């Protein structure tokens, strides 16, 4: 069944890394990819989830008393949730005094979201910023996204969509009519590796990057730079050659050095980080330098971070 209304798992204000200026970034839950290094693991499943942070837990036991399904128990590792018994009703989180237990994901109506976005218009206008829709994968909800983009456009708010482009071209083409800038992820060029590390083939993504480039849409490319995954010379050259061959070049390529901040989030979700046990690490200074050179040599605008 197609889900039309996303759960939103975060709304980030004063964001300076999701497009030009100061932005408000809306995070949609649900993603067709399962990247091993994903920084937002709470954005993978489209459903609501419960998160638990033991360091915030004061051990009061209110959550256990509240649960009607006997899903919670006190252990030496804090409060444990039985996945079999928990129906994700959220009642335990309502009574948690320290926010150690929280729900991730809330449905917002379009009107509610617009109200949140409009609260930021002063800052957005003064910084030439805007709104960015990301996730997860916002293209999973084309109708909701389209309506939000159109309404922001009517308010003269700059609109960016942060996406994997793992979607049908029909969807992308329609969304492009109401998008000022796409932030497109590029991960690994080798299809077998892409499948292994993200769960899906990259063919559709590469095809869509080519189409988007030929379509006249403004876009930039974001590449996570991960030793052990994609920071080898061969992949960097293949990525740079591909981007340099596009009919219209990306405005900039952001190389984003890997870090493992998602570990803590996985712990709070009760899920496993890097389930594939792939050796991933931050790129060395030499690797970063090599990567910058490879893209720059092909006439591409490239920066570290962003």
Where does this chain bind ligand SF4 (CB under 6 A)?
A: 50, 57-63, 66-67, 69, 71-72, 79, 81, 86-92, 95-96, 98, 100-101
Q: Which is nearer to ligand SF4, 78 or 306 (CB)?
A: 78
Q: Reduced to 3 states, what is the DSSP secondary structure of residue 184?
A: strand
Residue 79: CA atoms inside 13 Å, Cβ hemisphere, count? 31
Count of all residues that appear for the chain in the document: 306
E strand segments, 144-261:
158-163, 181-185, 219-225, 253-257
Q: Which is nearer to ligand SF4, 97 or 276 (CB)?
A: 97
For the bound state, the minimum distance from the C-beta of residue 76 to ligand SF4, rounded and expressed in Å, comes to 14
Q: Which is nearer to ligand SF4, 60 or 246 (CB)?
A: 60
For the bound state, the minimum distance from the C-beta of residue 112 to ligand SF4, rounded and expressed in Å, comes to 23
Cβ proximity of 57 and 100 under 8 Å: yes
For the bound state, the minimum distance from the C-beta of residue 85 to ligand SF4, rounded and expressed in Å, comes to 7
For the bound state, the minimum distance from the C-beta of residue 279 to ligand SF4, rounded and expressed in Å, comes to 34
Cβ proximity of 57 and 106 under 8 Å: no
Cβ proximity of 18 and 183 under 8 Å: yes
Q: Which is nearer to ligand SF4, 2 or 76 (CB)?
A: 76
199: left (phi over 0), alpha (psi -120 to 50) or beta: left
For the bound state, the minimum distance from the C-beta of residue 117 to ligand SF4, rounded and expressed in Å, comes to 30
160: left (phi over 0), alpha (psi -120 to 50) or beta: beta
Q: Which is nearer to ligand SF4, 61 or 305 (CB)?
A: 61
């Amino acid at each position: 069944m197609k889900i039309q209304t996303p759960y939103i798992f975060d709304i980030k204000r004063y964001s300076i890394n999701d497009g030009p200026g100061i932005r408000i970034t809306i995070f949609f839950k649900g993603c067709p990819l399962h990247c091993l290094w994903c920084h937002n693991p709470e954005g993978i499943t489209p459903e609501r989830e419960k998160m638990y942070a033991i360091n915030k837990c004061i051990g009061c036991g209110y959550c256990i008393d509240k649960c009607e399904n006997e899903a919670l128990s006190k252990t030496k590792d804090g409060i444990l949730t039985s996945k079999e018994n928990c129906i994700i009703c959220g009642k335990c989180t309502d009574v948690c005094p320290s926010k150690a237990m929280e729900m991730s994901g809330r449905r917002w109506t379009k009107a509610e979201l617009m109200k949140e976005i409009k609260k930021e218009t002063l800052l957005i206008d003064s910084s030439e910023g805007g709104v960015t829709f990301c996730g997860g994968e916002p293209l999973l909800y084309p109708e909701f996204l389209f309506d939000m983009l159109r309404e922001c456009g009517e308010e003269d708010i700059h609109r960016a969509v942060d996406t994997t482009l793992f979607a049908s071209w029909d969807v992308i083409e329609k969304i492009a009519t109401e998008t000022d800038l796409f932030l497109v992820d590029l991960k690994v060029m080798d299809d077998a590796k892409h499948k292994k590390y993200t769960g899906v083939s990259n063919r559709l993504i590469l095809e869509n990057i080519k189409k988007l480039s030929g379509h006249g849409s403004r876009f930039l490319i974001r590449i996570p730079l991960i030793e052990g995954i994609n920071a080898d010379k061969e992949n960097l050259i293949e990525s740079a050659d591909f981007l340099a061959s596009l009919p219209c070049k990306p405005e900039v390529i952001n190389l984003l050095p890997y870090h493992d901040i998602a570990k803590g989030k996985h712990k709070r979700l009760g899920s496993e980080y890097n389930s594939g046990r792939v050796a991933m690490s931050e790129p060395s200074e030499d690797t970063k330098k090599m990567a910058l050179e490879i893209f720059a040599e092909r006439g591409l605008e490239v920066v570290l971070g962003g």
